[in-house]
Amino acid sequence: MKGTASFGKMSKGRTHIRCPRCGRHSYHVSKKRCASCGWGRSRRLR
């Protein structure tokens, strides 16, 4: 379902943590890459 009951599952767990390279709170835990600087995807800065 996609109603109100399924919205409670969205907040559980952490999607992003603090990035070791840039220090911003945008390191994706399951993808293992930073959305801000691109760490884990490439050596170049995003």
Q: What is the pLDDT of residues 9-30, one digit of tens each?
A: 777 788 999 999 999 999 999 9
Instruction: Look up the pTM and report it.
Output: 0.72
Average pLDDT estimate for 31-43: 96
Q: What SS3 string covers 9-32?
A: HCCCCCCEECCCCCCCCCEECCCC
For 15-46, CATH number out of 2.20.25.30, 3.40.50.261, 3.30.70.1560, 2.40.170.20 equals: 2.20.25.30
pLDDT of residue 25: 96
pLDDT of residue 1: 67
Alpha-carbon span 26 to 4, nearest angstrom: 27
Look up residue 6 and give its DSSP letter.
Answer: G
Q: What's the first-to-final CA gap in the chain, in angstroms? A: 36
